[in-house]
Amino acid sequence: MYLKKIELHGFKSFADKVNIEFQPGITGIVGPNGCGKSNISDAVRWVLGEQSVKSLRGSNMADVIFAGSQDRRAQNLAEVTLIFDNSDRMLNYDYNEVEITRRLYRQGNEAEYLLNRQQCRLKDITDLLLDTGLGRDSLSIISQGNISNFADSRPEERRAIFEEAAGVSKYKKRKIEAIRKLERTTDNLNRIKDIVYELEKQIAPLKKQKEKAEVFLTLKEKLTSIEVNVLVHEVSELKHQLDTLSLQLKDLNERHSSLDAEIFLKESADDEIKKKMFVLDNEINSLQSQLLESMSEVSRLETSKIEVDQKRKHALQSQNSDDIKKKLDNLKAILTDLIEEYNDRVERLKTTEKSLEDLSQEQTVLTSKINHKHQSINDLNQEITKNKNRQEILVDLVENKSNYHHGVKAIMELAHDNPDIIGVFGDLLENDSKYDLAVSVALGSALQFIVTKDNLQARLAIKFLKDNKAGRATFLPLADMEPRSLREEHAILCPALEGYLGVLSDFVSSSKNIDNVILNQLGNVILADDIDHAYEISKATYARYKVVTLDGNIVNVGGSLTGGTVNRQQSSILQKRELEKVKEKLDELEQKLVREKNELLKLENDAKELAHTLLQKQMSYAKLEVVVQGKKEELVVAKGEYESLSHQSVELDEFKSGKIDNQLVLQLNEAIKHRDELTEKIKSKRELRMSYVNENEQLESKLKDLRRMLKDIQGQINEKAILSTKYEGSLNNYLSRLSNEYSMTYEYASENYHDEVDIEFARGEVATLRNEIVALGHVNIDAIEEYKEVSSRYENMNSQRLDLIQAQDKIVQAIDEMDQIMIEKFSTTFEKINKEFNNVFRELFGGGRAQIKYTDPDNILETGIDIDVQPPGKAVSNITLFSGGEKALIAISCLFAILKVRPVPMCILDEVEAALDMANVERFAKFLREFSKQTQFIVVTHREGTMEECDLLYGATMQQKGVTKLVSVKLEEAIDFSNENRKGGI
């Protein structure tokens, strides 16, 4: 393994990117003082993890970044990369080339380490280089300061270089880690011992409390089993009785409503009849007055007519009359009167017949209307029944929440006594009906989420559901709800898009001050007019938001689409809206039913009046037929008398076609007609009034019966309501006991506690068990879990204590083993170095003796290393008394001795021979050449003797002030080139 290349950029004086290539052997870096050649060794030390700023000749780490010069700006980054040839796999890394990089940024002093261009930790690099002889504190980098310090340092400080040479650094590092681990283990063991001691003190009293609690729980469980069965039985009975009462009350209320409506209709009919009777009385009185006048007129005219007729008959009967013609005139006048009267009665008969036909037709039409009205009322009753059934279903869904999840219903039953449970989210919302579908599909299952005051109430509710196995529910803690909204750029963009109506939360409100929940659920949901515009809005906002349409279609987050018909049974908002519409429709239908019944009543009254009128007309028609027949007979007699007197046949039509000027007969006919009409009207109205009287009496009697029935039903309703309230109070009491004492819902209790029990015996057993529980006194229920927890913790801690003791023993054993390995390795290496040190010293100094020795032979692991040398011809007892050059040569001797025993793949020597004279420099250089076969040397120097032994030279210059440049020369090529030039005579 050897260093192939160093890449520097922005490190100290290397402002530009510089690549320094190396090869096996000796590479020299030369240059005048201050040209930056020592920055190369600093760069290597820095990459290998040097953290000491002082060692890098700076005041802070940012000083390694090029600070700028008169002509160059400062750099913001220092980067150095070492590229090693790893063909021999000395580095435990499966690559032929290994690159180690370190970077430092001026801003924030942020540093990075990279291994083959992949980020890593400094520890990874340190572990990779461990025991390779490379490292910031190893023999791989030796400066002039290290050489001088080696001789002057304390023996304990001098030990480190020998540890590195002995290869015990990794064991020492592991030992330090093991000691730290041992310290941590000991600390943990002490803490656990304290905890175990405390737990031992807690276990005994907790065990007693646990046993007492277990007795309590056994009694409590038995009490629970018996009393819950009793409560379930009582609740079941009460629910059954309440259901029966509810059905009875429903039936009574329906009968009450039906009677009330019937009484109202009959009272209205009664009032109408009384009004008609009053009107008829007035009409009859008026007609009677007219009839008296008409009868007087008829009487007067009949008297006059009788007088005329008597005069005529007298004239006809007189035997003294000689004037036959005069008799004929009288008979003709009588016949004319009879013809007029007969024609008048026939005409009246025809008129009456025509009236009968009209009345009959009118009766047919009226009957058809009545039948139609009956059908309409039947249809209305069916529709009302249908809507009432739908109303009952919707009331069950909305008010009783029958379609809600089991868990939601269970929690809402508790909400009556807990104001911190605000309500079901969907039930708290208010919005215009045209947004119902949009809100419903946007919220979906969130409509059944439960809004609570805070997170604590939600957690308590979840615990209740879990303990009672009452289902699941999702909660929205008001205090924790964070409002959501559109991003600012989208809030500006969306209003300009076609079809955008707004954010859905703007169309929803609530009277419960839950704005945060509304904004959390709907604050970032967009409302659009149709699916096409919704898709465009989603596309414009990169599908970040849910977009819903007025007709219930959705463009989801991410771009997926949802649409089709909506199941209204799943939306409380749509159910509430439908319930409102059903109630409104029921009101309209019931009002229409009242109107229809009133119209039917009027039609039936009209039909009765028409029937009376038709009957009177039929009677008048029958009377007129008799009168017409009588007049006809009188007319035949009068005609015979006339024909007998005149001895000629008489055609009545001739009389009829003739002009008759008999005012008296005409007046009498009109008067009789008027009298008969008045008589018929009065009779008809009296009969109609009598029918009204009979109907009124029947209505009054019926109303009396109905009011009595209504009073009875109201009394039953009151009795049932009082009984229902009593049962509900008892039921709530039992349910409260189930909830408060046993934390159970009735559903859970009835599902799990349904044994058949003798109620009276069970109640006695409950009293006995309660007395036994009271006799136990204070019971710490938590003691069972506490004992279990403490016992488990004690066992766990005790197990950990034993594990830690075992681990402690293993760590101590491992430390002992590592100590033995380090003693063995260090001693072996020390002896080898000591032997080689004497040889190298004698060779470099031309004689004398040298040795290294322990300052504390009994403590190999911590002993310092002392140096005892005696150059030829000198008797110096203390190394510190040697000259600087001698100290350097002694240190170099020790360095070469170590390299003989433990070769390193690469060594950087930074002016280590600076204090040597020319002869010693040459000896030093020869040793370099000797060791270069196994170690790559990079020598920073300005001594000629060292330069001569270099295979490759780099010259460091500063052509531009403050910026280091390098020029390379291969000496073998230079020598060859020089020899060729000499041969050529140049």
Q: Please report, in range form, the residues annotated as the binding site.
A: 32-39
H helices of 399-480, in order, are 406-414, 425-428, 436-443, 455-468
176 CB-near residues (< 8 Å, 6+ apart): none
559 CB-near residues (< 8 Å, 6+ apart): 538, 539, 543
Terminal Cα distance for the chain, rounded: 42
* Whole-angstrom distance, CA of residue 694 vs CA of residue 698: 6
CA atoms within 13 A on the CB side of 917: 5
Token readout for 208 is: 């007693």
Contact 405, 448 (CB under 8 A): yes
Contact 80, 49 (CB under 8 A): no
Query: Would residue 116 be called left, alpha or beta, if left means φ above 0 and alpha means ψ between -120 and 50 degrees?
Result: left
Helices (H) then strands (E): counts for the chain: 23, 22
* Whole-angstrom distance, CA of residue 930 vs CA of residue 376: 128
Q: What is the residue type of 457?
A: Q
* Whole-angstrom distance, CA of residue 852 vs CA of residue 913: 22
> Residue 781 CB: number of other CB atoms within 10 A?
15
Binding site residue list for ATP: 32-39
Strand partners, 954: 29, 968
Q: Is the dihedral of CA 930, 931, 933, 936 positive or negative?
A: negative
* Whole-angstrom distance, CA of residue 706 vs CA of residue 803: 94
Q: What is the residue type of 496?
A: A
* Whole-angstrom distance, CA of residue 731 vs CA of residue 733: 5
Q: Which of 237, 405, 220, 235 is nearest to 746 (CA)?
A: 235
* Whole-angstrom distance, CA of residue 685 vs CA of residue 627: 23
Token readout for 140 is: 């791989």
C-alpha 770 chain-centroid distance: 45
**Judging by DSSP bridges, how do beta strands 77-85 and 26-30 pair with one another?**
unpaired
Q: What is the residue type of 473?
A: A
Contact 710, 256 (CB under 8 A): yes
Q: What is the residue type of 38?
A: S
Helix axes 436-443, 515-522, angle to 10 degrees: 80
Q: Order the strands of the 18-21 sheet from edge to edge.
A: 18-21, 2-9, 77-85, 97-105, 111-115, 118-120
Q: What is the residue type of 564?
A: G
* Whole-angstrom distance, CA of residue 692 vs CA of residue 280: 10
Contact 497, 536 (CB under 8 A): yes
Decide: helix, strand or coil at residue 303. helix
Q: Which string of DSSP letters, residue by residue, matches 484-512?
A: ----HHHHHHGGGSTTEEEEGGGG-B-TT
Task: Kindly provide the b/e burial profile for residues 256-275, where b requires at least 16 CB atoms within 10 angstroms of the residue's own CB.
Answer: beebeebbeebeebbeebee
> Residue 898 CB: number of other CB atoms within 10 A?
24
Token readout for 349 is: 């008969």
Strand partners, 547: 526, 555
* Whole-angstrom distance, CA of residue 232 vs CA of residue 225: 10
The residue whose two tokens read 């946007």 is 442
